Amino acid sequence: MTLTRFVVLSSLLACLVLSAVAQEQQFADLGDFKLASGEAIRDCRIGYRTFGRLNENRSNAILFPTWANGTTEQLKSAIVPGGSLDLSAYYVIAVDALGNGVSSSPSNSRLQPRMSFPRFTIRDMVESQHALLTRVLHLDHLEAVIGMSMGGMQTFQWMVSYPGFMDQAIPIVGSPRLAPYDLMHWQTQIDAIVNHAAWKNGEYTENPTRVAEVQFGALLLTTPEHYNAHTTRQQVFEQLEAAKRGPGSVDANNKIRQVQAMIALDVSDTFGGSMEAAAAAVKAKVLVVVSRTDHVVTPLPALEFARRLGAQVLELDDNCGHLAPNCEQKRVAEAVHRFLGR
């Protein structure tokens, strides 16, 4: 599911043109990083890449968090010259979210490997990014936070966790709190892993996500009409057979921890459960982009939060589902360009 999501969503990011070649992978060492639960990620490292140049008054920084299981390596290949939206005036910081296999994760932790890696939340992702920005990059303000899918969820969390830290926020097909349908399909994906004979409580040697990733991706990322129009019966059989033979694109334990973070997301949790109070705390100018046919992150929670904010809204209404930003990339790019105002 993740590779498919990358292929189809990354072309939207290709419209975000930068004036300099992206730097190679960098890491920030945060030490033992305390989580909202009270547990800690030991020897926590956050992966990131920077693009462009910070201006003299340090006011042109944009944060780009990754989507579920996405990496800044994928963002690096997507952010190329020639697109319709020029961000050459900005200093863009792409950050690997906790649990993506680059930043500290079940798959790469020496001290807390596999399922001994503690549960973390979207709020914890944001806190780790804030630590990167303030302690390592020495930034105390952002021009904007922009994210897609789980990156959009992080963007919503940024709005309420650090309301004065950014001027603008653009969550794209994200959510401030997952809807019941979303909770059901994400929990089903966890269950497909933990009930697989190969999982072995996370101590697997054969990746139990291989086939499930392809199946859930096909069923959720787009709509039946779009999928049937772009996929033949033979391709279905070939994709499933290839998934059975291949190593799989997503580490199962990483996926479980990131999905658990999305399930737990609720930007109102520090406001007594009041979305009205959470929205009242937001200071940034906000553009919310949703897809009306999205089955991965259904749009109503984002639309309701946008209404409370009085935010600008772009509703995509085609049969592309969660992939609508790719199908309507020109429209999205133009809206983002107008909103940023540069």
pLDDT in tens, 282-310: 999 999 999 999 999 999 999 999 999 99
Query: DSSP secondary-structure letter at 176?
Result: S
For residue 16, give Cα distances in angstroms to 11, 19, 322, 333, 339.
Answer: 9, 10, 20, 8, 14
At 94 the pLDDT is 93
DSSP for 216-267, please give it. HHHHHSS-HHHHHHH--HHHHHHHHHHHHHS--SS-HHHHHHHHHHHHH-BT
At 79 the pLDDT is 56
Between residues 68 and 342, which one has the greater pLDDT? 68
At 249 the pLDDT is 78
> What's the mean per-residue pLDDT of the chain?
91
% of residues, the chain, pLDDT over 90 = 81
In the chain, at which residue ranges do the beta strands (DSSP E only) sit?
Answer: 16-17, 26-34, 40-52, 61-65, 85-86, 91-95, 142-148, 166-172, 285-291, 312-316
Q: What is the mean pLDDT of residues 263-292?
A: 98
Q: Is the pLDDT of residue 160 over 90?
A: yes
76-85: string of b/e by CB count within 10 Å (b at 16+)? bebbbeebeb
Q: Is the pLDDT of residue 7 over 60?
A: no
Q: Which of 26-30, 145-149, 227-231, 245-249 has the lowest mean pLDDT?
A: 245-249
At 297 the pLDDT is 98
Q: What is the mean pLDDT of residues 181-186?
A: 98
List all residues 6 or more positions away from 3 whose beta carbon is below 8 Å from its beta carbon: 213, 249
At 83 the pLDDT is 41
Dump pLDDT digits (tens) for 237-263.
999 999 988 887 799 999 999 999 999
Dump pLDDT digits (tens) for 194-245.
999 999 999 999 999 889 999 999 999 999 999 999 999 999 999 999 998 8
Chain position carrying tokens 């200093």:
91
Residues in the chain: 342
Residue 199, amino acid:
W
At 78 the pLDDT is 54
Rounded Cα distance between 67 and 37, Å, is: 23
C-alpha 219: how far from chain center: 20
Q: What is the mean pLDDT of residues 148-162?
A: 97
Round the CA-based radius of gyration of the chain to a whole number and report it.
19
Between residues 16 and 116, which one has the greater pLDDT? 116
Q: Is the pLDDT of residue 118 over 80?
A: yes
Handedness of CA 315, 319, 325, 330 (dihedral sign): negative
Asked whether 322 and 296 are in contact (CB, 8 A), the reply is yes
Pairing outcome for strands 166-172 and 142-148: parallel
DSSP for 54-102, please give it. --TTS--EEEEE--TT--HHHHHHH--TT-SEE-TTSEEEEEPPTTSSS
* pLDDT tier at 342, thresholds 50, 70, 90: low
Handedness of CA 17, 21, 23, 24 (dihedral sign): positive
* pLDDT tier at 273, thresholds 50, 70, 90: very high
Rounded Cα distance between 265 and 232, Å, is: 37
Asked whether 226 and 146 are in contact (CB, 8 A), the reply is no
Rounded Cα distance between 22 and 94, Å, is: 10
* pLDDT tier at 6, thresholds 50, 70, 90: very low
- The structural domains of the chain, with segments of one domain joined by +, span 2-340
CA distance from start to end of the chain: 34
Q: In CATH, which superfamily holds the domain spanning 2-340?
A: Alpha/Beta hydrolase fold, catalytic domain (3.40.50.1820)
* pLDDT tier at 16, thresholds 50, 70, 90: very low
